[in-house]
Structure 1
């Protein structure tokens, strides 16, 4: 029989999942497609304006584009707001499988201020994002070898070039849309599988007088079979000038199935490079695994057998190596409270990434649900506060700590507090630039509510449960008087060994890191979570093995202060990650504005800090398991 309390908990959990799952983007694979009959209305939506030069998004209607009678904002999840997405309706209206030519949208007379803003956006190479049936708009571009076609997200607001001997700014005011559809064999219904555009800049001329959308143009007239071409005079951006916005729409039957329509966006990267990344990482893992196997199966086995065969204390005194420091190896380190906090936070990160990646690999995070991945990571991070509190308090109790509430508060506020301060400062800079990427006050309040309302209580619950359990007992007793550490060889210097230890974990992931940075800063799609999960597993193994190897060498040198060094050994890979981010900034990005540079380095510093906490915790846990294992295997009087 289930108790009423259990039923209430189950009901509460069901309600919580029902609320969180859609917001977080957890959708089962195979979401039902939309079928359109011929003549059905198709609403084109507009999204933010983006630029890889500034990294500052703006709303579509911040520029003097044609507006619908009423602007309606689409409902957005938490991840979309944090990404700066602002999805709104537009005056571009299609009818399914009914082509249109030279359709007039509106005429705009731009002011001096609007002309200045347009020129700035064209100078910074801003692109316009549109959406049809949840598919982003792309521009097909033929590669240099002319053998394949690449796709770029969105079209440029305009171009800067020479015309009639002068350098001028020209706006793309004519859009030639191509909607690809897949027709059902058994009915007249169709599904949209592609949304492309070719932008043009053309200085439209009115045939007689302006009559709104019914005006006849001499530059684009389907009745006279005259269509927009590249050879026509372009539309210059100049204050006081009229700009007429027009569009064509064509429909093309396609063999692409609805289930495969995202392949164009998700398979833009070369799989061979990803496989090269995996092979490169596996080579590192095999090398380290060989070293660990040699240490564990040969050296350690020989050491343990020899130590256990020693008959007298005098013989033991003559021995050197890791057994001699058994009385000090589990002595609590300096700043043990801070170590407990960092380990708890690292476990929280590990749980968040593992759960999110498993859902992504299984297909529960749909790419069509914009912001779903970020929302899921935030919500899972909040829920993983339970593991953070539990882990930090368990380690804290092993160090004979008694003030569990103090360690709980530090766990709940240290990393989130640092992240929130950096995020708040960067958000203030974005807000100062009047960018749509600035997080609104309501969203900021929601983030604080998630932190204080859910994460902090869960950390307290986990800490309470962890502190109630019996303390983990070390396999050997700790001496009251610390043993003197002998002088170490130059290669065992803490700084040297720590920096050496971070190279291999970074080397295992740096190729995949390039694609992740490109997806964030170059606005490219990244959805190869199968590769990413493999790299994540390789990262875990690499961090664990390199830390174990260096920890063994350290103990053999009779240096028992391994606690913090084991954390910093694999955690130092974050230093190389940040250095790579600096290299990526100067070699791949074209950022020139000071605010944009501050945003890049601010967010990459935060990402490197998170990577340090994650990899440091993995290395520490592996080393903790290793030391308990070897010291529990020898006979110590």
Structure 2
């Protein structure tokens, strides 16, 4: 009941603006005050390659002039946090001037002369569906849309670089660039006393595009009439060759791609202009100004509720199975075991007790444990051997493994570091979900989710070292410093190697998605200079000060021979079957996560309250699945459960990666080898993180379960 109440409290927090904290970092402006406009990057749903806006050769370059409202010169970059750099942001000051409350019908930005090579780049951007991101008052510029029934308005972040059309007669593609931008800033009176003093806050930033040809322009470069544009700005340069000019004199001709490959020195002038309009809007609260970026919130809520109901049904069924195992099966096994031990103790007492002065009557439980747990035989007493064998006839299944169940696993020196890194990820995930559900990590904190996640991961090196050191000593390890080094390098090193390899491909594309060399050096310094010492401290405390966990039974010298096992408890089959259940818990929510990250124009996932609830149910499901799987394995007299519990816990990551592949080929339209490589590379890293986290949960759950059931035998 308490668990259910806490789940609904988390859910309620998600519904109460979980993605935004009202009143946090409110900035107001007065009439006539300049507001800087920042440009960021261009991106597309059809590719994973992003580019800095000012790196495009067909865009007006920055002039380097100083503008009011900003201490930066145009073209200078603002300082970015680690999360912004990792997500490919490149935010710089622009030459566009915005003044609160001042409309500007038309301003000429520049006339950019491009070569045929630059023209091909522009056509590639338009063909790829690239959109540009501008920023005003920390709001990304957006294109406004309405729902099909025209009942609600919503935003798609960014604005299109251009569009393409198809000639009806020839069927050839023609490309046009959007060279005039209409900027609409919506504002309202600032809250509290600031509003009484004339302060205003920005609540929306809209950008509308238009393609305007070079004809019929005024002296300042602005079009004569923006309301009626006869000829759009086509990305086409006529060939310089006389033969081509005479052969294709019609203006409607669009040449084949092969005719655009050569550079004959021809150029094209693209005039860029913009307009600015300020509109007061009292319908949008400042605290809710991000709401319009989230599409289909009502439908999304239904999906989340469906995901939670689905998760509760699966988890509830598993809970009933686990309760039956714990309350009936295991309790009955322990009772039978104790009765057999008691009878064996009584029979030994009758045979071995001798009358005499000073003779002590042995305790029944002591004799029972000596006879059954240590299996001490007496070669000189055939009656005792026969009695032990008769007592063990009723002892079957997991009870026979008391001498082998806590035997150190093979390659324990790798399992201990993995468990330590898994606890590091558990701490990071819990911290991120908690801060996001409270609204501290929200879309206005650009790059905050990744930056805080990296910080939590580095700090959690203490937990990584502690658990790795304790598990390593429990396995009987001697060289704890070597274990510390492996813990601090194994998983972080794998992630860094994957990021570096992917970065090489992105560097070759000159994309802003590539991490700068300085950022890579900063990540290495965080890794080696901060995390590694923290792992060392945690490992020293876990190995030296705390020590190993005590086991309720002793491990025998000789290994027990493993019996034949049915197909469904073979390692691979049982791991994959067990992993399917946690995947069934999260796959509905996973669909919404993928849709938010890969398909929605906003690109923001915001319902962390729902995600927290599903995550709690997921952890419970993994714990229950692991208990059932390990119990079946022990009942089959197989004591190799250490690695098995870890793999069972993380097995759903295999299904998640398969889901990623299905989503890529069925739902997405990503083009290009590098983009596909980035998609699967990112998904593989995410699945490794998810699998390691869940595997650690499964391992610790199984360890606690095994200690509990074998401790219950020894207790009496």
1:407 alignment partner, one of 471, 475, 483: 483
User: CA separation of 1:366/1:591 partners in 2, compared to 1, >3 Å: closer, same or farther?
Assistant: closer
User: CA separation of 1:302/1:246 partners in 2, compared to 1, >3 Å: closer, same or farther?
Assistant: same
* Residue deviations 1:380-437 (CA, integer Å, cap 9, x gap): 1111111111111101111111111111111111111111111101001000000011
CA contact (8 A) 2:21 2:287 kept: no
CA contact (8 A) 1:179 1:252 kept: yes
What is the Cα deviation at residue 189 of structure 1? Answer: 2.2
2:405 alignment partner, one of 325, 329, 333: 329
User: CA separation of 1:194/1:621 partners in 2, compared to 1, >3 Å: closer, same or farther?
Assistant: same
CA distance in structure 1 between the partners assigned to 2:453 and 2:639 by the alignment: 38
**Is 2:272 the partner of 1:262?**
no
What is the Cα deviation at residue 287 of structure 1? Answer: 1.1
Which residue is equivalent to 1:177?
183
Computed over aligned residues only, the root mean square deviation of the Cα atoms, in angstroms, reads 2.0
Alignment of 1:471-510 (within 5 A): 471-510=548-587
CA contact (8 A) 1:133 1:192 kept: yes
TM-score, normalised to structure 2's length?
A: 0.81
Unmatched 5+ stretches in structure 2: 1-18, 65-74, 238-266, 345-387
CA contact (8 A) 2:221 2:271 kept: no
> What SS is found at the alignment partner of 1:502?
helix
Alignment of 1:210-229 (within 5 A): 210=219, 214-215=220-221, 217-218=223-224, 220=225, 227-229=226-228
CA distance in structure 2 between the partners assigned to 1:152 and 1:287 by the alignment: 41
User: CA separation of 1:246/1:207 partners in 2, compared to 1, >3 Å: closer, same or farther?
Assistant: closer
CA contact (8 A) 2:553 2:714 kept: no
CA distance in structure 2 between the partners assigned to 1:155 and 1:27 by the alignment: 24
**Is 2:77 the partner of 1:78?**
no
1:47 alignment partner, one of 40, 59, 77: 40
User: CA separation of 1:472/1:216 partners in 2, compared to 1, >3 Å: closer, same or farther?
Assistant: closer
> What SS is found at the alignment partner of 1:322?
helix
> What SS is found at the alignment partner of 1:347?
helix
CA distance in structure 1 between the partners assigned to 2:533 and 2:294 by the alignment: 39
What is the Cα deviation at residue 207 of structure 1? Answer: 4.6
Which residue is equivalent to 1:304?
334
CA distance in structure 2 between the partners assigned to 1:130 and 1:168 by the alignment: 26
What is the Cα deviation at residue 164 of structure 1? Answer: 8.0
Q: Does 462-471 or 148-157 show the bigger shift?
A: 148-157
CA distance in structure 1 between the partners assigned to 2:204 and 2:217 by the alignment: 35
Q: Does 444-453 or 65-74 show the bigger shift?
A: 65-74
* Residue deviations 1:544-593 (CA, integer Å, cap 9, x gap): 11000111111112111111111111211111011001001111211120
**Is 2:194 the partner of 1:190?**
no
Which residue is equivalent to 2:313?
283
- Rg larger in 1 or in 2? 2
- Structure 1 residue runs of 4 or more that deviate by more than 4 Å after TM superposition: 26-29, 163-166, 266-269
Q: Does 267-276 or 574-583 show the bigger shift?
A: 267-276
1:124 alignment partner, one of 121, 128, 140: 128
* Residue deviations 1:120-171 (CA, integer Å, cap 9, x gap): 1111111000111100111112334444334211011101113585521100
User: CA separation of 1:275/1:327 partners in 2, compared to 1, >3 Å: closer, same or farther?
Assistant: same
CA distance in structure 2 between the partners assigned to 1:141 and 1:256 by the alignment: 16
Which residue is equivalent to 1:224?
none
User: CA separation of 1:457/1:182 partners in 2, compared to 1, >3 Å: closer, same or farther?
Assistant: same
CA distance in structure 2 between the partners assigned to 1:336 and 1:281 by the alignment: 34
What is the Cα deviation at residue 29 of structure 1? Answer: 6.3
Which residue is equivalent to 1:17?
none
CA distance in structure 1 between the partners assigned to 2:217 and 2:571 by the alignment: 80
CA contact (8 A) 1:307 1:635 kept: no
Unmatched 5+ stretches in structure 1: 1-25, 221-226
CA distance in structure 2 between the partners assigned to 1:620 and 1:414 by the alignment: 18
What is the Cα deviation at residue 215 of structure 1? Answer: 4.3
TM-score, normalised to structure 1's length?
A: 0.91
2:272 alignment partner, one of 223, 228, 245: 245
